[in-house]
A and B are shown apart, each in its own frame.
Chain A
């Protein structure tokens, strides 16, 4: 009788993933078994609780790693280190905020609440798996868990043709890029004989990778898969269409979760598995960063739709995150961690406000609709202004610290031209952000017409989440030390 050798599993280390994944599955079962549809409030509350569970277990893992040092589990397929714990913290916060932000929307649009929450929880677990994956195959699993749930989420507003079109586009192109990514894994395996990140780096270190062509092809294919996921130019073409078409709260969640998962995995693969190939991948990441910085900022300027503009804004942010990778130092990684957390919070909250404004059918996020908003609804207008200024990188917001630390890291690495390009792109982007802020505070033609969003502005949970995000954005903008230290400690405990 053959024994199946089961690997030892540290369930405590997997707790954030399990919370989200099992929480999602349990909710699915509950809603299927329940005779009456579950109340939206119950589901939101449940989802927030699950998010808190994941957050607390992630913090516990972070604390554990600080004491015991990094390790791996499940036959070294999952990394238990500060980096993955920090990402799990970020994703948990995203889950909590996204649940609160979607509550009113789902009710207004009469969308089945459990469906959204099940998919969001599942998708979020995928993002953490990507960050914790210590093996390319596990990484791919995480990528697919994240992505497939997102495809469905994008199609959630079935009354909207745009939503369906967005989902289909995302699905086809996502499948395409997943195939490319799988090819990358296969080639890497062919060249190094393993999919485990430590084994790969050991092989590369010993110089036994005899097939450099195969290896580099694998690297190139992997990079393209990642670049697609994080929406880097020129692999970003799907982004504006999908961001515009998807239900607005889903867009917010997508902008946060997918970017966090994608960047976490990209950072880990490049910096722990393939540091020896940095002479090969640095120029590629460098060029893509330049293209992403410029493309995102420039195209942002000419958008007439808030969601499309924010899509390009997220592309510009991706450029900044790539700058942190070019630095390839622990300062760069911790800068990226800070950036991912603060970007997630501000981007989610910004999309949360756009959700409130996008009209009763969530089909019109034209910038004109924001005209004079701050005059009619000073609190929401001010929140939007603060969030936009934070994204623009204005001092006393987290956005400034984030951009500053990334640029500081890359200057420390010696890539001054990239720092200059990044700052120039930020300057161009500032124009677009400030124009939107100016629109908010416009006094003339404050329409007496009903834009159809006055009801949606009284969305309690969303307002709470937005308020919380604004507080976080300003607080850590003025006192960033704690959060920066959190990131630095996390990177100090990165599984080598």
Chain B
């Protein structure tokens, strides 16, 4: 199977390209089925490669297999080739990326029904999957960066999918600009690493650098990751990105692309683990993001915004795990989160679909009766994310918190408190949506139309929900703490080798920690029930400071946006017309004037032409005379 690795990328790429080629002829729903089939085939190929990888131990200690497609860039010491590397880490990513992508493609066929640009949506989606897989499978930083940029641009297209809406257009730009800022970090990291290691190939990196250089490299990587994975200080593009269609939010802005930053840090574990300072900063950023985003999520009224901040917070946990050195815990949470967050987003999409596009939770409530499938599946997503045993989130978050406890009890306390917040805001979101009175049946205070009978979604949308709910229930089986030699930890640990730090706690301690996690989940659930049962608005619990994202956007607007606008206006109104136009117009006038004068010499008379020759000759001869003197 190893020579077929490229097919994992080729299928979605081919799907996207052929849809572009036939975009005039292919219509709904064929385009959707073609795209789904392309990603499905990619998933099957991934499965085949995965099974081959399990069966063989030919790839050396880290079980890595590389397919060399062709020489790409060979300049001086830089050898960046089209090499696709399959190892336990990348194949894990590939499995859940292609698997969840297939489900979300399927869901989109139903969700995007009747959209004008149906085909275009699936073109973007397929190209996104191809880019994401390039990012994951790239054997060197440059190839990863290519995919990194590819997912960035697809994300931009998809966020601004409804570009006729101003808010969607500017959300797309915001997402793109934040990601471009973070790209500087990626580029700097590549520069630093190439200058010190003379390679960008992951398997050849050694981290033999001075500690200062290492810290710089790790901070640059963290900055890059903070952009893609929406961490402090670059997290606030993600909520705006919810302007895109809901399947996009589920696929790109919850399950896959936003985890790329975490994946990058895991990929670069050799460098990351060599810098203790860097690891502490990573822990700090991760925990701060998890906490800040959780507080914000408690006060959101838009269901998708609430889920978006929840995503930011959960990725904060993953980054925190990376900082502790337990990369397996980070990957575990990433996979589990992909299941339950994709489920929650698709569930919210189902709700929005049923309510004709309504996203305000103030206009929901009581949907349990109307949308039994959505309710039933969303229920498990909710229980999984808040960490109620035995669902996937309990095990995944538990392993992160165990690792954090090993690093520092103080960090652990912060993480546990954030888990309480998580249980609280997710429960609030759940109650507001599915329980209480059906507020959408009456006309809203702002003139929103009433919806008499919300309808359950078609099977193409229900099937992915059911499958994801199943994964959210049983996802914990991937990595049970007391089972060794099977599961993610056994599978992934060869990749990380000595970089991996696994907490070696006694059984009692493990039970105590797990008990604390479960307790916190139930506590948060209960508090939310007490505070929000039968209520749809409690302004005292949703202060403006939290609802407005800690005024983070205003802060950036004041310190960057306004000065930059002022500078731009200055250049446009002063520098451009006076200095630049002045120089250009002045040059043009000078050339014109000189030409008009010189032209008079060309009067058509032979005698004056002869004079010109004689004049030139005399000048030359006189100059020689002066020289010889």
Chain A residues with CB under 8 Å of chain B are 169, 172-173, 176-177, 180, 212-213, 216-217, 219-221, 223-224, 227-228, 234-235, 237-238, 240-241, 280, 283-284, 295, 298-299, 301-302, 428, 431
Contact = CB atoms under 8 A, between A and B. Distances in A.
Given A172-B606, A295-B598, A301-B592, A228 B613 contact: yes
Contact of B615 (A234, A283, A301): A234
A276 B604 CA distance: 39
B627 interface: yes
B482 interface: no
B613 A220 contact: no
A235 B624 contact: no
Interface of B: 588, 591-592, 594-596, 598-599, 601-602, 604, 606, 608-610, 612-613, 615-617, 620-621, 623-625, 627-628
**Most chain A beta-carbon contacts within 10 A, residue among B604, B606, B612, B628:** B606
Given A169-B606, A299-B598, A302-B596, A220 B615 contact: no
Contacts of A212: 628
Contacts of B588: 431
B613 A298 contact: no
Given A216-B627, A234-B616, 4 more contacts: A228-B613, A237-B602, A237-B608, A280-B624
B609 A220 contact: no
Contacts of B599: 299, 302
**Most chain A beta-carbon contacts within 10 A, residue among B595, B608, B627:** B595
B617 A176 contact: no
Main secondary structure of the interface of B (DSSP, over half): helix
Nearest to B609: A237
Nearest to B615: A234
A237 B596 CA distance: 15
A240 B623 CA distance: 28
B594 A298 contact: yes
B613 A284 contact: no
Given A173-B606, A237-B602, A280-B627, A220 B592 contact: no
A310 to B, nearest CB: 15
Contacts of B615: 234
B624 A241 contact: no
Contacts of A220: 617, 620-621, 624
Which 5 residue pairs spanning A and B have beta carbons closest together?
A237-B609, A216-B624, A302-B595, A220-B620, A237-B612
A220 B621 CA distance: 6
A240 B602 contact: yes
A228 to B, nearest CB: 6
B40 to A, nearest CB: 42
A213 B628 contact: yes
A34 to B, nearest CB: 38
A291 to B, nearest CB: 9
Contacts of B621: 216-217, 220
A176 B628 CA distance: 27
Contact of A238 (B596, B609, B625): B609
Contacts of A223: 620
Given A219-B624, A220-B620, A234 B592 contact: no
A217 to B, nearest CB: 6
Main secondary structure of the interface of A (DSSP, over half): helix
A480 to B, nearest CB: 19
A59 to B, nearest CB: 34
B56 to A, nearest CB: 45
A431 B590 CA distance: 14
Contacts of A280: 624, 627
B108 to A, nearest CB: 42
A235 B627 contact: no
Contacts of A219: 624
Contacts of A302: 592, 595-596, 599
Contacts of A299: 595, 598-599, 602
Contacts of B612: 234-235, 237
A167 to B, nearest CB: 12
B610 A173 contact: yes
A224 B608 contact: no
Nearest to B613: A235
A235 B620 CA distance: 12
A237 B609 CA distance: 6
Contacts of A221: 617
A66 to B, nearest CB: 31
Contacts of B625: 213, 216
A319 to B, nearest CB: 14
Nearest to B594: A298
A176 B623 contact: no
Nearest to B607: A172
Contact of A176 (B595, B596, B610): B610
Nearest to A300: B595
A224 B602 contact: no
Contacts of A213: 625, 628
B626 to A, nearest CB: 11
Given A172-B606, A428-B591, A224 B598 contact: no
Contacts of B616: 224, 227, 234-235
A234 B624 CA distance: 18
B120 to A, nearest CB: 30
A177 B588 CA distance: 35
A177 B614 CA distance: 10
B603 to A, nearest CB: 9
A302 B589 CA distance: 12
Given A169-B609, A237-B612, A224 B617 contact: yes
B619 to A, nearest CB: 9
Contacts of A216: 621, 624-625, 627-628
Contacts of B628: 212-213, 216
A333 B406 CA distance: 73
A180 B613 CA distance: 10
A436 B332 CA distance: 65
A436 to B, nearest CB: 16
A109 to B, nearest CB: 24
A299 B600 CA distance: 11
Nearest to A217: B621
A208 B385 CA distance: 100
B606 A217 contact: no
Nearest to A216: B624
A298 B617 contact: no
